């Protein structure tokens, strides 16, 4: 499929995505799924500035992404689909029925979150959201950069930030 990565990352478009994943996967387009960003020209300009000129960026709400996901998947070019939180990815998965894998790439410290990996902090509610994704048949793994080993969901949730 042409969406090489369905990624949850609270920084959305940043160096790790554009350079760390973008270059080795030869990513040609990024689909940023975020209702607030999709409603703001200023936010879109900000994120557009963060990608190289040759990389296309598409802004979608969950609703519009669910409708267009089949087209994105049929695109011959490799792409990345990004959400900034687990709930958004879950809404997209539920609405589209087309999400098969999810990469948890970066969820940083906030009050109420517990450190699982140095780049993943989760609340109990977020852990339930991830379990719900997995119970829906979606392969959920944690991996910040391509050179790292993906970590499956259960080891991730059992981890205490020691790696």
Partner 1 sequence: MSERPAVVAAHGDLARAFLEAVTLITGRGDRLVAISNRDRDAGGVHAALRQAVIETNAQVIFTDLPAGSCTMAARRVQREFPHVDIVAGVSLPLLLDFVLNNAEPPPASEHLAARAREHLLVWEGTRVD
Asked if 140 and 133 touch (Cβ cutoff 8 Å), the reply is yes
Tally the C-alpha atoms within 13 A of residue 40's C-alpha that lie toward its C-beta: 13
Please report whether residue 117 would count as binding partner 1 according to CB under 8 A: no
* Binding residues for partner 1 restricted to 31-90, rule: CB under 8 A: 42, 46-47, 49-52, 84
Measured from the CB atom, is 56 or 94 closer to partner 1?
56
Beta strands 3-9 and 79-83 are parallel
Please report whether residue 3 would count as binding partner 1 according to CB under 8 A: no
For the CB of residue 16, give the shortest distance to partner 1 in the complex, in Å: 9
Would you say the C-alpha torsion 54, 59, 65, 71 has a positive or negative sign? negative
Binding site residues, partner 1, CB under 8 A = 10-15, 18-19, 42, 46-47, 49-52, 84, 106-110, 118
């Amino acid at each position: 499929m042409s969406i090489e990565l369905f990624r949850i990352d609270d920084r959305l478009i940043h160096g790790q995505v554009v350079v760390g994943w973008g270059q080795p996967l030869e990513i040609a387009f990024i689909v940023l799924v975020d209702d607030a960003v999709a409603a703001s020209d200023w936010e879109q300009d900000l994120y557009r500035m963060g990608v190289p000129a040759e990389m296309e960026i598409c802004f979608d709400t969950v609703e519009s992404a669910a409708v267009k996901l089949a087209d994105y998947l049929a695109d011959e070019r490799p792409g990345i689909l990004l959400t900034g939180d687990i709930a958004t990815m879950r809404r997209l998965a539920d609405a589209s029925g087309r999400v098969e894998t999810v990469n948890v790439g970066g969820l940083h410290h906030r009050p109420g979150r517990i450190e699982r990996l140095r780049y993943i902090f989760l609340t109990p509610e977020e852990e339930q959201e991830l379990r719900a994704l997995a119970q829906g048949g979606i392969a959920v793994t944690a991996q910040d950069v391509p050179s790292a080993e993906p970590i499956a969901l259960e080891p991730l949730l059992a981890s205490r930030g020691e790696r």
